[in-house]
Amino acid sequence: MTGELSPIDKAKFVAAKRACDYVEDGMRVGLGTGSTAAWMVRCLGELVRDDGLNIVGVPTSSRTADLARQVGINVTSLDEARWLDVTIDGADEYDGNLNLIKGGGGALLQEKIVATASDQMVVIADISKKVETLGAFPLPIEIIPFGWQTTKALVEETLIGLDVLGRTTTLRMNGDAAFVTDEGNYILDLHLHRIANPRQMSLVINQIPGVVENGLFIDICDAVVIGYGSGKVEVHDINAGTVEEDKIDFVESANLFSDL
User: DSSP characters for the chain?
Assistant: -GGGS-HHHHHHHHHHHHHGGG--TT-EEEE--SHHHHHHHHHHHHHHHHH----EEEESSHHHHHHHHHTT-EE--HHHH-SBSEEEE--SEE-TT--EE--TTS-HHHHHHHHHTBS-EEEEEEGGGB-SSTTSSPEEEEE-STTHHHHHHHHHHHHTTS-BS--EEEE-EETTEE---TTS-EEEEEE-S-BS-HHHHHHHHTTSTTEEEESEE-S---EEEEE-TTSEEEEEETTTTEEEEEE------HHHHTT-
Q: State the span(s) of the chain assigned CATH 3.30.70.260.
A: 139-214
Q: Dump pLDDT digits (tens) for 162-198.
A: 999 999 999 999 999 999 999 999 999 999 999 999 9
| 102 annotated ligand-binding residue | yes
The verdict on domain 2-129+219-257 having CATH code 3.40.50.410 is no
Q: What residues does CATH 3.40.50.1360 cover in the chain?
A: 2-129+219-257
Q: Is 34 annotated as a binding residue?
A: yes
Per-residue pLDDT, 249: 81
CATH number of 139-214: 3.30.70.260
Establish how many alpha carbons lie within 13 A of residue 12's alpha carbon, considering only the half-sphere containing its beta carbon. 20
Q: Does residue 4 carry a catalytic annotation?
A: no
- State yes or no: 9 annotated in a binding site: no
Mean pLDDT split into 10-residue runs, the chain, 260 residues: 76 97 98 96 97 98 97 98 98 97 97 98 96 98 98 98 97 98 98 98 98 98 97 96 89 52
pTM over 0.95: no
Which residue among the candidates 46, 111, 142, 213 is catalytic per the annotation?
A: 111
Strand partners, 129: none
In angstroms, rounded to a whole number, what is the distance separating the alpha carbons of residues 62 and 199? 29
The reply to whether 91 sits in an annotated binding site is yes
Output the pLDDT for position 125: 96
